[in-house]
Structures are given as C-alpha cells and as structure tokens.
Chain A
Amino acid sequence: MKNKLKTVKPPKIAPYSKAHERYLKKLRNDKIFVISFQVVILFTFIGLWELLTATKVIDPFFVSSPSRVFNMFISLVEDGTIWRHIGITLLETIVGFAIATLGGTLIAILLWWNKRLRRILEPYIVVLNSLPKIALGPIIILWVGSGMSAIITMCVLICIVLTTISMLNAFNSCDADKIQLMKSMHANKFQIFWKLILPNATDEFISVLKINVGMSWVGTIMGEYLSSSAGLGYLIVYGSQIFKIDLVMTSTVLLCLLAALMYLAICLIQKWHSR
C-alpha cells in the first residue's frame, strides 16, 4: 500500500540569483570562520601549554604537558592496560545511561498512566531530585557492594530522577484537544499513549538523551572515585595519589574525547530522526 504512493521531493537548493549566491557564500564563509577559530583556539591552547612547560615557566610536575600526555598515552597503549580501563568506564557509563533512560521513561509512563499514583509520589520525587546523589555513595556500597555494581547504581541514580521528571512533563504537555480528537475517533488509552503521547514527546526524549550523556559520565566517574579498581576515574584518583599528573591528564583527555563521541552519536540519532 504505502510503497505505491508517490514521493514528493523537496526542490534542490541551488543559487537562484546573484544575491542568493552571495548569501550562500556568506553562510559558507561564516562557517569557515567559526571552525577555523575553533581550531586556532585548540592549537593555541596546546601550543602554549607545551611552550610554557618546556621553558619551565610553569612546572610540568603539576600541570603535565601535551608531549608528556602523548608519551603517557603511547606507553599505556603499548602495555595494553589502557583498553581495559577505557572499556570498563565505557561499559559502566553505557549500561548506567541505558538503565537510567529506559527506567526513567518507564516510570514516567507509569505515572502518566495513573494520575493518582503520580500525585501520591510527587513529593518523594521532588525530594529525590534535589538530593545530592553523591551523599548516597556509602549507602550504595553497603547495599550493592563496591566495584562495578556500585558505580552503575550511582550513574543510574544521578540520571533517572531527572529523566522521569522531564519525560512526565513531556507526556503531560500534550495538547488536550489532540487527546479529545483521539477520543472522538474512539481511541483507547493505550492507543492514545502509543500513537499520540509518545511520538509527541520524541523531541523531549532526545534532549533527555543529550543531558543523560553528560550526567552518566558524571555518575560513572563519581562512582569510580568512590570505589573502583579499574577505569579512567580510577586512573585519575590513582595518578593524583602517586603524583603522576601525566596519568591524570591523559585520562582526563581521554574522558573528554569519549564524552564528546557519545554526544556526537546522539546528535546523529537526532539528525536521522528529523530528516
């Protein structure tokens, strides 16, 4: 049925006149300008860092240096340990992220479905949301044991409450008239949720994904600070304890890269969705 239908292609964007051509050129130049400045800032930062430490203006013992970071990275790659640390942190983050996002959304669905339950639980959710989750660290370790399960729990705790609140808001912000329309077409509650409320909340869901990417890294690293024997957070703590700033910096840089990559993945999902 559907594939029989004709597709209407949007018109190709092409210059229509001299003015339009100028406009497109300006857009392109703007973009080039912005990107080149971003690159310049990055390299200036790295360059200054290297220069100031090489000339001993600042002490590389405390701030490390780009070349030291690079050498540290190479040696970590050569002895192969770095992959294990990256793998563990990445695993903890992704698992925590997935559990928190799915779990939070499921709870939001439950609370949307049952108004009374929502009203009963509302104050508890508010309190949970304002509680600094790190305070629960010792209790978490007592309850689920130290190590990976504690870290994932911390990560989930940090993300899940906000996910629930945001998704519930998105569900409840659906236009009441649209719900009436569905009812006038005799939709049942499940259909109203599945065909209206849920798709209507996709934009909010994507922004929740973006927030959770950041928050889940916070949760994992915080968890690793608390109790861990491997992972990038562990390397950072360990490095600072033995005054190996090179190790601390290398792990931090890797953390930045990984978080950026994960954020980029979400942006790709968004692009694919809104195409």
Chain B
Amino acid sequence: MSAMLEFKDVNFFYQTKAAEIHALKDLNFTVEEQSFASIVGPSGCGKTTILSLIAGLLKKSSGRILLNGKEIEENDWRIGYMFQRDHLFEWRTIWQNVILGIELNKPKDADKKKEFAQQLLKKYDLYDFISSKPRSLSGGMRQRVALIRTLVMEPALLLLDEPFSALDFQTRLKVCDDVYEIIKSEQKTAVLVTHDISEAISMSDKIIVLSSRPATVKHVQMLNLNGETPLSRREDPTFGALFDLIWKKLTNEKQTQNS
C-alpha cells in the first residue's frame, strides 16, 4: 500500500502575545491509502493542531505535508474533517445540515451528491428524521449525522478529532462500530485522534504515539487484529498486551514530563 498522507519534518509554532508556542517538532509519519490510523498522546500535545494543518485551517511553519505525493492545498475536497462535538446547526433540519457542504460549494454534481446523502441517511437509519431538527435526536444519532455531513462531499481522507468522547460508553461502542463500518465500506482513509487507547487499538491499522508538547512521534505501532468490527477486535487475545504496550509508551512519557 502506498502512503496517502505524509508528514516530513513538520514544525508548527503558535504565535501569542505572551510567547511563541512550539506545538509540533520535526514530525514524521505516514498514513497508508485506505488504512485507519490513530493518533494518541498526552492532553495538549498538539493532536488537534496536526488535523488542523492537514485540513488547511493552519499553515505549517516548516517541513512538508504531502497528500498523494503533493503538497496539500487550501480548499481540498479530498479532506473531510469531523469535530469532537457534532456542531449540527440547530436551526436547520437534519437534511439541511447534511447538505451544508453542497450548499456552500455548489459542486457540478450536486444532484448526485444529494442522492448519495439520501442513500447514506437511509442506510444508517436516519431517513425518518430528515425533516426534524437536531434537538430531537440522540447523541449517537447526531454524531452519525455529522459523519454523513462530512461524507457527502466524498472526501478520500477523513480526519476525526475525538468524535466519540462526548458519548456515554455504550453509545460510544455502538457509534464506533457504525463509523468504522461506514468508513470501511466507503473505502476511506481515516486519521483518528483519541484519548482512549482501547478505542485506538480496536479501530486502527496503525497507532502513532506522540510525546508531550512539542509533539514528536514517540512510537508507531502497526496492528493486525482479528475481527471484522472494532467491538469484536476487543476479543482478540493480543488486545491486552497491546493495551499495556501503548499505555507504557504514553505514561512513560508522562513520567519524564513530570520529573
């Protein structure tokens, strides 16, 4: 498999009145085509910053960020970004929320994309709510709507910033499975930022462990667990050992940070 996304010696600084904050330091990693990569790291280390750089919301200070071998540009529709909270617009119906991207960019194949949106809504049991407002949906349903809103523009690379952290545990497992299913069946490449090690292990082909700020890559773990769904992968016999390994890499980091 070829690398779809590539970070080469990427540095990023936030400029504030008080100081210059070195957020990312000489960051190197790759994400393969149609694979699922997770980024874990201590709080405030720069995970969201990485996604914002990929999405073109921030400009890197130095280094190269390549998408399919070319520098990423602004307004690249190959990238879809899903935030921690669903950020559905309460004054819009579910349908109007889902087609927001189409409305903003008026693509030539808008009708085709709308049809695709309807298909997705039907497939994931949301079609009956198409003219309801977001407030009448549960947290899990809202998160699925947010994912569909991102998918409608047919991005090849999905960025997920802790999309499940606002959900309760049970819903979380279910939505994880749903989202994983959607991403795999739509053949997307995904980069997931998460605090939850078991979530990372159960969903990913690769886990990138970051150090505390300024973030550097501390460890890269390739995974190949048995099981079709994230939930079933949690049954894999190596799951526990992997958890310990990643946990050590992370906490080890935290100790050096404290001393």
Contacts and interface: CB of A to CB of B under 8 A. Distances in A.
Contact of B103 (A6, A175, A195): A195
B259 interface: no
A195 B128 contact: no
* A contact face: mostly helix, strand, loop, or mixed: helix
B57 A184 contact: yes
Given A2-B95, A5-B131, A181 B83 contact: yes
B100 interface: yes
B83 A186 contact: no
Contacts of A8: 128-132
Interface in A174-198: 175, 177-178, 180-187, 191, 195-196
Nearest to A180: B57
B87 interface: yes
A5 B55 contact: no
Interface in B60-112: 75, 77, 79-81, 83-85, 87, 89, 91, 95, 100-101, 103-105
Interface string A127-170: 00000000000000000000000000000000000000000000
Given A180-B57, A187-B104, A199 B91 contact: yes
Interface in B232-249: none
A185 B105 contact: yes
Nearest to B99: A1
B129 A183 contact: no
A7 interface: yes
Contacts of B128: 6, 8
Nearest to A181: B87
Contacts of B79: 184
B43 to A, nearest CB: 17
A252 interface: no
Interface residues on A, range: 20 to 34
Given A180-B57, A181-B83, A186 B132 contact: no
Given A8-B132, A185-B153, A186-B75, A178 B103 contact: no
A180 B105 CA distance: 16
B172 interface: no
B131 A6 contact: yes
A120 to B, nearest CB: 19
B114 interface: yes
Interface string B129-159: 1111000100000000000000001000000
Contact of A184 (B81, B103, B129, B131): B81
Contacts of A196: 89
A202 interface: yes
A7 B103 CA distance: 22
A185 B83 contact: no
B184 to A, nearest CB: 23
A184 B85 CA distance: 14
A199 B92 CA distance: 9
A233 B89 CA distance: 45
B103 A177 contact: no
B87 A178 contact: yes
Contacts of A184: 55-57, 79-81
Interface in A1-16: 1-2, 5-8, 10
A189 B153 CA distance: 20
A5 B95 contact: yes
Interface string B38-55: 000000000000001001
20 contacts: A5-B95, A5-B130, A5-B131, A6-B128, A178-B89, A180-B57, A180-B83, A181-B87, A182-B104, A184-B56, A184-B57, A185-B101, A185-B104, A186-B77, A186-B104, A187-B104, A195-B89, A195-B100, A195-B103, A202-B91
Interface of A: 1-2, 5-8, 10, 175, 177-178, 180-187, 191, 195-196, 199-200, 202
Given A6-B131, A200-B89, 9 more contacts: A8-B130, A178-B89, A184-B80, A185-B104, A186-B77, A195-B89, A195-B104, A199-B91, A202-B91
Interface of B: 52, 55-57, 75, 77, 79-81, 83-85, 87, 89, 91, 95, 100-101, 103-105, 114, 127-132, 136, 153
The 8 closest A-B pairs by CB, nearest first: A184-B81, A186-B75, A199-B91, A187-B104, A185-B101, A5-B130, A181-B87, A184-B55
